[in-house]
Structure 1
Amino acid sequence: MQEKNERRSNRERSESTRAVLIEAARRLFIEKGYAETATPDIVAAAGVTRGALYHHFEDKKALFSAVAEAEARAVAEEIDRVAPDDMPAREALVKGGEAYLDAMTLPGRTRLLLLDGPAVLGRAGMDEIDDRHAARSLRAGILFAVRSGDLPRDLPVDAATHLLSSAYDRAALAIEAGGDADAYRAALAMLIDGVAALAG
């Protein structure tokens, strides 16, 4: 029993250290940018040793990837919370998109996911992360709308997911830069309704 408790305690300490590193790195990546953040800065901010950092992450890039993954997961959780499975398809798409835009207003999130993310991890690397989170939710919503007849049956789901995801990303960046959030929300809803009208 004691051995089991020790294993649990070690695992909890390990998870706690990992979480502290991710949070410290997130803060520094936002404040200073990825290129200007050195691993000694992260170690100092997290209050851990360099050995602890490299025990959990191969390098700074791997740590950045973990930060991006955590941010993307948080965004997807908000989308899924606002647009549950029992919501009508068209409403779920619109509400889910609005939830995405809301979630992206968290300070630093657009920089991490839409600017630094592709620069550090490459477009393919960020797409892999997105495909596990917000893009997965969006694709599921589009597929549900196609199957329910709210969107055209012959709509290419993967292509539509990529295009609509790009539109939401662009809106998030524009809103952060001071754009009219209501105008972007309305335009995106009209875009969805325009495609829905083709369903007849």
Structure 2
Amino acid sequence: MKTPKDDRPSAHAPRSNRERTEATRHALLEAARGLFVEKGYGDTSTPEVSVAAGTTRGALYHHFIDKRDLFRQVLQRESQAVREDILAATPPDLSPRAALILGAQAYLRAMTMPGRTRLLLIDGPAVLGLSDAIAIDDAHAGDTLHEGLAAALGERADVDIASLATLLSAAFDRAALEIDAGADAQRVGEAMVWLVERVLAEGGKRTKTK
């Protein structure tokens, strides 16, 4: 009697070309991240990355234009990870105020990942330039902040939301740098929550000019 054929892939089935390609890319990004954090961008060479990833320089240049492109992709992946942590901490059923506060706390937690502050806030602007580093942030974590402020303040806002998000983002980055340098994470986090609450309280008030 025949048994039904099991169409599930075997644990030992060979990987597809796409799977091998993704595995190689992942290994290169992981190896590059480790070396960029340990040695810095300037002291890391592409041959070192290839060796650490267990692949060839040809494979590296198949996936990335050059070392700068590799570094950019590492930063984009780090920034995306921060965004995902913020989104995970702020489900859609939260009030805008609660989402901003929990998102602020999630951002600071996410930035404590070893090496992340150096990559995103120190080496990123130095290697790619400030405008490119800001663009990467705006596409990920910065986007969640802008959306959160717009939802919380809405039409009552008497301030340009984009400008406010830019300034508040700078405060968050400084807080992450302070924590990375050894400041008390709880105290810094509490100060940032206080700042967010003041922004929400004052953001909808019409200011008077002389």
- State whether structure 2 residue 145 is matched by structure 1 residue 138: yes
Partner of 1:165: 169
- How many residues are aligned here? 190
Partner of 1:58: 65
Deviation at 1:190, TM superposition (A): 1.5
Conserved? CA contact 1:57–1:63, under 8 Å: yes
Partner of 2:103: 96
Q: Distance in 2 between matches of 1:72 and 1:169?
A: 12
Q: Distance in 1 between matches of 2:59 and 2:172?
A: 37
Q: Distance in 2 between matches of 1:194 and 1:159?
A: 16
Deviation at 1:196, TM superposition (A): 2.1
What SS is found at the alignment partner of 2:16? helix
Partner of 2:44: 37
TM (normalized to structure 1)?
0.91
Conserved? CA contact 1:146–1:155, under 8 Å: no
Q: Deviations over 1:113-157 (max 9, x none)?
A: 00000011111111111111100111110111012x7xx422211
Partner of 2:9: none
Conserved? CA contact 1:25–1:67, under 8 Å: yes
How do 1:180-195 residues align onto structure 2 when only pairs under 5 Å count? Answer: 180-195=184-199
1:115 is aligned, of 113, 122, 125, to 122
Deviation at 1:41, TM superposition (A): 0.5
Deviation at 1:111, TM superposition (A): 0.5
- Paired residue type of 1:28: L
What SS is found at the alignment partner of 1:72? helix
- State whether structure 2 residue 113 is matched by structure 1 residue 106: yes
Query: Higher Cα Rg: structure 1 or 2?
Result: 2
Gaps of 5+ in 1: 1-7
CA RMSD of aligned residues (A): 1.3
Runs of 4+ in 1 over 4 A off after TM superposition: none
Gaps of 5+ in 2: 1-14, 206-210
Q: Which has the higher helix share?
A: 1
TM (normalized to structure 2)?
0.87
How do 1:65-76 residues align onto structure 2 when only pairs under 5 Å count? Answer: 65-76=72-83
